C-alpha cells in the first residue's frame, strides 16, 4: 500500500468517527480527546526523551487540562498549571532535583498538546453553535492540509521551508490558504453565528496557524533526528503528525471566537 493510499484510507475511516463524536459531545468527546492527547503526548516525550521529561506529570497535567475544558477555560488553564506542581512532586519523590530542561520539556508538551485539544472541547461547548463551530475548525484544518498536500505533490515547484520541512511548497501553502478561508466563510456566515468579515477572519487565522503548527512539529522532529512522530497511523505517521496543525489552529480559533464575543 502506497503512502498516498494509506493516507486516504485512514482519513476515510477516522474522519466520520471524529465528526460523530464531536456531534455527540459531552464525555464522548472528552474521552476521545483525552486518548488522542495522551497518545500524542507519549510520542512527543519519546521524541524529547533525551531531555528527560517528567512523563507522569505531563500525563496528569494533560488530563487535568482536558477535564477542566468541560467546565470552562479557567479550569482548563488551572489544569495545565498543575503540571508545574506535579513535575516538582514527582521529581522530589524520585529523589532528583527539578531541572529547567526536563520541566520545560514536560510543560511544553502539555501546553502544546493538552491545551491544543482542550481548545477544541471549549469550541464544542459554545452555546447553540458549538457543534457547527467545532466541525468548521476541524474540517477547515483537514481540508486545507489535504489541499496543500495535493497541490504540493502535483504542482509544487518552490520549497516553502527546505531545511525544516522539504516536502512543503509555496504552491501548497496557497492552495491550503484558499481552502482554509473558504470553509468558515461558507459554513458559518449565514448561520446567525458569524458575519461575513468574522468568518473570513476566522478562516485567515486558521490559514496562518495551521501551517505554523505543521512546521513547528517538523522543526521538533528535525531537532530529534526523526522522520515521523510514530507509526500508529501508517501513511499518516504518528498521532502527533496528524493533529499538529489542529493544535495551533484550535487554540487560535477559540481565542478569535472569544474576541468576537460568541463563547
pLDDT attached to residue 7: 64
Q: Exposed/middle/buried for 95, CB within 10 Å: 0-12, 13-18, 19+?
A: exposed
Distance CA 167, CA 79 (A): 36
What's the pTM?
0.90
Residue pair 165/216 in contact (Cβ under 8 Å)? The answer is no
Which pLDDT tens digits describe the chain residue by residue (263 residues)?
Answer: 555 666 667 667 788 888 899 999 888 999 999 999 999 999 999 999 988 899 999 999 999 999 999 898 999 999 999 999 999 888 878 766 668 889 999 999 999 999 999 999 999 999 889 999 999 999 999 999 889 988 888 887 888 887 777 788 889 999 999 999 999 999 887 777 899 999 999 999 999 999 999 999 989 988 888 877 766 766 567 889 889 999 999 999 999 999 998 87
- Count the neighbouring beta carbons within 10 Å of the beta carbon of residue 83: 26
How far CA 17 is from CA of 12, 24, 59, in Å, comes to 9, 11, 24
**Residue 168 cell numbers, joined:** 512543503
Amino acid at each position: 500500500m502506497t503512502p498516498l493510499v494509506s493516507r486516504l484510507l485512514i482519513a476515510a475511516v477516522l474522519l466520520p468517527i471524529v465528526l460523530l463524536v464531536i456531534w455527540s459531545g459531552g464525555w464522548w468527546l472528552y474521552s476521545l480527546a483525552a486518548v488522542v492527547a495522551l497518545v500524542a503526548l507519549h510520542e512527543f516525550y519519546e521524541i524529547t526523551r533525551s531531555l528527560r521529561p517528567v512523563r507522569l506529570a505531563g500525563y496528569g497535567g494533560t488530563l487535568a487540562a482536558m477535564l477542566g475544558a468541560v467546565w470552562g477555560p479557567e479550569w482548563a488553564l488551572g489544569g495545565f498549571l498543575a503540571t508545574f506542581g506535579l513535575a516538582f512532586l514527582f521529581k522530589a519523590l524520585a529523589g532528583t532535583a527539578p531541572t529547567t530542561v526536563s520541566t520545560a520539556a514536560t510543560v511544553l508538551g502539555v501546553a502544546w498538546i493538552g491545551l491544543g485539544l482542550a481548545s477544541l472541547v471549549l469550541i464544542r461547548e459554545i452555546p447553540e453553535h458549538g457543534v457547527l463551530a467545532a466541525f468548521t475548525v476541524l474540517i477547515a484544518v483537514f481540508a486545507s492540509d489535504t489541499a496543500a498536500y495535493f497541490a504540493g505533490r502535483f504542482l509544487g515547484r518552490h520549497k516553502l521551508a527546505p531545511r525544516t520541512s522539504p516536502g512543503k511548497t509555496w504552491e501548497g501553502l496557497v492552495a491550503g490558504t484558499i481552502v482554509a478561508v473558504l470553509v468558515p466563510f461558507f459554513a458559518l456566515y449565514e448561520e446567525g453565528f458569524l458575519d461575513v468579515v468574522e468568518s473570513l477572519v476566522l478562516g485567515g487565522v486558521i490559514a496562518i496557524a495551521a501551517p505554523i503548527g505543521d512546521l513547528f512539529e517538523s522543526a521538533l522532529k528535525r531537532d530529534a533526528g526523526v522522520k515521523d512522530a510514530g507509526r500508529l497511523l501508517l501513511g499518516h505517521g504518528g498521532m502527533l503528525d496528524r493533529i499538529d496543525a489542529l493544535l495551533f489552529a484550535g487554540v487560535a480559533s477559540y481565542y478569535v471566537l472569544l474576541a468576537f464575543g460568541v463563547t
